[in-house]
Structure 1
Amino acid sequence: MEIFVSVISVLVGIVGLVWVWQERQRAELRTGDVFSWSNEVISVLQSLVLISSPRSLQLEDQLTRARIIEIMFRTSILIEQGRLLFMNEVINDWGSEKPSAYRGYRPEILDHIVVAHQISAAWVQASEEERFIMGEISKDCLMNFVSLAQKEIGRSKTISVDGGRSGDGADLDYLMSESRDARAEALI
């Protein structure tokens, strides 16, 4: 019986050590900070998509301008905050004359915020054709950022089976059509 208790004690100790090690790894990777920062970036990038999309709400010029300026400031700040979470990759001597946080090549996850910042800075002076292209690029920035952030901090499992199940791909046009068909059948 004494051996059994010793074995159980050792197993509990090992499980405890593994748990502490995993928590330490999580703290080192700062996943909570990356998650919070990513949510803020997604909010800003989605705002840019909504403003710059040709099919978006047509906001008054003054409101659009104010939102674009806000996005310009927020993206600039988010880029600098991202530098705290994702270090540049130093290759050869690229950027060696710069302060350490700016030496080398910035990580891809920051590239999409930089482009969004450039779009917001150029938006007011851009032609309609340039704005159309910028709208398309802003969608790519959002989707690419979310994909990279998901790889960085996304969950591989869900708590509920229902939460992880594949959707049916429905959208508003489809649902409107289905609703019209159901109404038409009900009237017949």
Structure 2
Amino acid sequence: MSFGDPNNPYGPPPNQQPAAPGYGHPQGSQPGYGHPQGGQQGYGYPQGAQQGYGYPQAPPVGPYGAAVPQTMPGTVGAARVMLWVITGLQILGIALFAFSAVKVSAAKGDNTLKDDASFQRFADYSTGLLWAITLFAVAWAVFTVVLALKFNTGGNGVRVTTLVYGVITAVLGLYPFVLVGLVHTVLGILIACFVGGSAGSAWFNRPRY
């Protein structure tokens, strides 16, 4: 039996010719399993790239395991807007009380108004009291502005101060400024509730890095 017979099924396979250029893998190359050279083995990411799996970075966690807010919560932002509203009302009140003090002081020297009953009821307020109320309104407006400006950078101290501010504002709206203070009462209650809630606590107690 000859193995030289090309028709012999038990003979050695015929000599294979080398692959033509452009087909298969070139001599000396190693298969890359479909990934570009230099990528991380088995994943196909470029060298130096970090694998992110398509998920966003998790927000930082506070000391008690709660997520730290990255932006000011809506209720806290609403409380700050209410502080600016109170500031505008305070400016109007300052103008009103100052105008009243000037008018009362000038009218008290007018002899023609001594018999005017309506004016006498208005003149019962002393000029000194009106100016004192005006100065108090100025100080309260300045204090309100400072609190509103501290909402972005302030800590728990600003939160507690704003809460107390809201309570005092609500009380002052009931007495002695009943006629002009009802709006202050409503705004003061809302401010105290918003900064005293869980969202306010998370915002003002967030860690600063």
Is TM > 0.5 for Structure 1 vs Structure 2? no
TM-score (norm 1): 0.35
Larger Rg: 2
TM-score (norm 2): 0.32
The structure that is helix-richer by fraction is 1
